[in-house]
Amino acid sequence: MILTFVGTAGSGKTTLTRAFGEYLEGNGYRVSYVNLDTGAKRLPYKPDLDVRDDVTAWEIMEEGYGPNGAIVESYDRLLPRVSEYISSIMELKGRSDYVLLDTPGQMETFLFHDFGVRLMENLPEPLTVYLFSPDILRKPADFCFARFFGLMIELRLGTTTVPAMSKVDTVSNIDEYRRYLDDIEYLTARLRLEPSTQGLLAHRMCLVFPELAPPTRVLYLSSKTGEGFDDLETLAYEHYCTCGDLT
Ligand code: GTP
């Protein structure tokens, strides 16, 4: 199984790659780790495949590029080798139960650069986990945004994408988060009460969400406590073994 962790900087991708990998290994699975982040300084796991062996954003910055330009340039330089990466990942897949892909800190690098898109389009049925931290969820419209963003990733990468709230150990009112994220009808009804233009837009978007989105449950994960790891494992199993019913 190939699992790809995608999310904004600091959402917890790298920590989850290590923690979920350890959890799987503890359950007797063979796990391979792939680092796709040219800007990563230190990793808490030992990658079996690492883009930094070919290029790092840091060395490009030494050529005079700024931080963002260096990251884009690093993927420009990796692009001609995308087929080699696909082959290497397939090789790892052949000898592992799980291949975990840790993606660039800046999510847009993966979603907007051809390197990320072509890689994902050419891997067999990878499951993408879209990680978002509870910090981004402050008002009802934010919950709508998070659910739609997962859908946008699915649209862009062409892979089944599961939304997952990370760092659940940091919130005390998890039931409140769950009510908005799990129950789109409840969220839509709540958004109806929002007088702002933003609220109105979110309400209209959430009205059509059930029509657009495949039925997928939301995951609630903590790399600190391991909460939700059994759910992620079950969901990955369902994705591969029952052809995509992730409700
Ligand atoms: P980039 O390095 O920018 O790619 O970020 P990332 O998405 O890989 O996030 P990373 O794993 O580096 O985590 C960011 C911060 O969140 C670190 O300080 C982690 O220790 C912390 N963190 C990650 N997961 C959890 C979690 O489940 N619980 C808590 N409390 N903190 C977490």
Per-residue confidence (pLDDT) for residue 195, from 0 to 100: 85
- List the CATH code of the domain at 2-36+81-234: 3.40.50.300
Tell me what ipTM this predicted complex has: 0.97
* Joined tokens for residue 243: 């052809």
Would residue 88 be called left, alpha or beta, if left means φ above 0 and alpha means ψ between -120 and 50 degrees?
Answer: alpha
Position of tokens 């808490």? 44
Residue nearest to atom 20 of ligand 1 (CA): 15
Which of 5, 8, 14, 35 for a ligand 1 pocket mutation test, highest count of atoms within 8 Å of Cβ?
Answer: 14
State the closest ligand 1 atom to the C-alpha of 44, by its place in the atom list counted from 1.
11
Per-residue confidence (pLDDT) for residue 181, from 0 to 100: 95
Contacts of 114 (CB under 8 A, 6+ apart): 75, 79, 82
pLDDT tens, the chain, 247 aa long: 999 999 988 999 999 999 999 999 999 999 999 999 999 999 999 999 999 999 999 999 999 999 999 999 999 999 999 999 999 999 999 999 999 999 998 888 899 999 999 999 999 999 999 999 999 999 999 999 999 999 999 999 999 999 999 999 999 999 999 999 999 999 999 999 988 999 999 999 999 999 998 888 999 999 999 999 999 999 999 888 865 566 6
Q: How far apart are CA 127 and CA 120, in angstroms?
A: 10
* Joined tokens for residue 46: 């030992």
Q: Do 87 and 125 form a contact (C-beta atoms < 8 A)?
A: no
Helix, strand and coil in the chain, % to nearest 5: 55, 15, 30
Please give the helix or strand (H or E) that residue 37 lies within, else none: none
Give residue 9 CA to ligand 1 midpoint distance, Å: 9
Give residue 183 CA to ligand 1 midpoint distance, Å: 27
- Look up residue 47 and give its DSSP letter: -
State the closest ligand 1 atom to the C-alpha of 104, by its place in the atom list counted from 1.
4
Q: Do 140 and 180 form a contact (C-beta atoms < 8 A)?
A: yes
Ligand 1 shell residues, CB under 6 Å: 7, 9-15, 37, 105, 166-167, 169-170, 222-224
Give residue 165 CA to ligand 1 midpoint distance, Å: 12
Domain ranges of the chain: 2-36+81-234
* Joined tokens for residue 122: 């050419």
Residue nearest to atom 15 of ligand 1 (CA): 10
Per-residue confidence (pLDDT) for residue 245, from 0 to 100: 60
* Joined tokens for residue 184: 């789109």
Per-residue confidence (pLDDT) for residue 213, from 0 to 100: 85
